[in-house]
Amino acid sequence: MGLLCWRIDRGKTSLILPAAIALGITAGVRPSSILFLGPLFLFSLRRAPLKKIVPGLAALGVTAAAWFLPMIWASGGFAAYFGALQSLWRMVPSRGTVFNSSPITSVARALTILYIYFLCFGAASLVPVWTMFSTGEADKRKKLFTAVWIVPALCFFTLIFLKLVNSGYLLLVAAPACIWLGAWTAEWYEQGSWPKSLKVATLAVGAAANVFIFLAFPAYCSYRSIRHFEAELGSVETSLPQVGTPQDLLIVSFDNHFLGYRHAGYYLPGYMTVEYPEANLIQGPRIFAMHGRNSLLLTQLPSGTFTRFVLFPLPAGDAEYAQYTEKIEKMLPARDLKTVSLGGHQFVTAPMTDLPILFPQAAPATRK
C-alpha cells in the first residue's frame, strides 16, 4: 500500500484503482487497516483528477463490500457482528484510552512503542543518531508522506490501545521505518567520511548485536524464549493425559500469551477447554470454550461425563504467574484440591461441583 500510494503521489494516477482494491483487501485481513492506511490513500489522491478519484473510491467500496457483506451473513447479521465487536471493545481496548484513564497510561504506551522499535531494529535503531538528515525539498515531501503513513496508527496505539504482547500491530509502521533506516544507512556507507574498514566493522558489530537480540534477548519474542515455551507446551501436552482422560477431565485455562487458553484448546483438542474468567458480553455472561479445535461461546458450563477440572498450568518459574494461580486456588475449597506434579508443572484439580465458584454468572452455584 505504501509503494502504491507513493507512486500515485508522484503522479502515477493509473495506480489508483489497484491501490483502492489493495486497500479493500487489506481491510478484509485486518479491518483497522482502513483506519490507519485510509488517510495515506486519500492523501495520495490530492492532486489526482476527479475522473480518476471517483472510480478508485468506487472500487474500494466494492472490494470492501465483497468481504464485508458475506462476513455479516456468516456472523448472523449486523446485530450479531456489531454486538460482538462492541463486547470486545468494552472488554479490552476501551478500558485504558486517553479519555478514561490517566495520561501516564498513554505515556507508558509511547515508551512501549519506543521499546518495540529498539527491539525490532536492534543496532539499526541508532542509525538516525549519526546520519545527517537531508534538508532538500524532495526529502521534505518524503517526510510528509511518511508522517501521513504512520501518524494515524501511532496516535491510536499511543492514545487508545496497545500492549507489549500485541506488538505485531506495529508492523504497519515497520515498513516506512525499514525504508528510512535502509536509505540512511546506505547514504552513510556511500557518502560518509568514515574509513571503509571502520564502516564494515561497524556494520559487523551491529549485525552481531542484532543476531544476539534475535537469539537470546530476554523477551517473549526471542528464539530462546519461544523454544523454551515450546518445550513447556510439549511437556504439558504429554503430561496432562496422565492427570485424566478427555471424558473425565475438563480444562480451565487463562487468557495468556504463553500456555494460554488457545494453546490448551489447540494442542489438546480431545479435551473440552473453557477460558477463565467468563466474559460479560452485550448478550450477557458467556464462557469461551474450545473442543476439537473449534471455538464455542457457551451460555452455561458444559455438561458431560466430567468429574473433575484441571487448571491449565501457566509458565513455570514466573512469580506473577504463580501469584495469579495461587489466587485462583484460594477461591476453591482447599479440601477439594488435588495437585499432581508432572513434567515440572503443578496440575491442580478439583471436582466439577466446585466449577460454578469460578463461573458464578454463567452457572449459579449448586453446592450444598
Three cell numbers written together for 27: 481491510
What share of the chain in percent tops pLDDT 90? Answer: 68
The per-residue pLDDT for 283 is 81
Assess if residue 363 is contained within a domain.
no
CB atoms closer than 10 angstroms to residue 299:
11
Are residues 86 and 108 located together in one domain of the fold?
no
Total-model pTM: 0.81
Residue 346 has phi, psi (to 5 degrees) of -100, 115
Q: Which positions of the chain have pLDDT values less than 70?
A: 131-138, 363-368
Q: Distances from the Cα of 225 to the Cαs of 214, 219, 318, 320, in angstroms? A: 10, 7, 13, 17
If one counts the domains in the chain, the total is 3
Asked whether 250 and 236 are in contact (CB, 8 A), the reply is no
Cα 122 to Cα 78: distance, rounded to the nearest angstrom: 44
Assess if residue 228 is contained within a domain.
no
Asked whether 113 and 158 are in contact (CB, 8 A), the reply is yes
Task: Please give the residue range of the domain that contains residue 53.
Answer: 1-91
The per-residue pLDDT for 365 is 44
Assess if residue 100 is contained within a domain.
yes
The per-residue pLDDT for 272 is 96
Three cell numbers written together for 311: 487448571
Q: DSSP code of 301?
A: P
Cα 346 to Cα 211: distance, rounded to the nearest angstrom: 35
- State the DSSP H helix or E strand holding residue 274, giving kind and residue range, or none if neither: strand 273-276
Q: Quick check: helix, strand or coil at residue 276?
A: strand
Angle at 315 between CA 267 and CA 117, to 5 degrees: 95
Last residue in a domain, options 91, 118, 140: 91
Last residue in a domain, options 91, 120, 143: 91
Are residues 66 and 99 located together in one domain of the fold?
no
pLDDT digits (tens, 9 = 90+) for 140-159: 899 999 999 999 999 999 99
Dihedral (C-alpha) 102, 105, 110, 115: value to the nearest 10 degrees? 150
Q: Measure CA 209 to chain center.
A: 26
Are residues 43 and 104 located together in one domain of the fold?
no
Parallel, antiparallel, or unpaired for β 273-276 and 249-254?
parallel
Are residues 256 and 333 located together in one domain of the fold?
yes
Can you give the C-alpha Rg of the chain in angstroms? 26
Last residue in a domain, options 64, 91, 118: 91
Assess if residue 226 is contained within a domain.
no
Are residues 193 and 170 located together in one domain of the fold?
yes
Are residues 106 and 195 located together in one domain of the fold?
yes
Residue 210 has phi, psi (to 5 degrees) of -65, -40
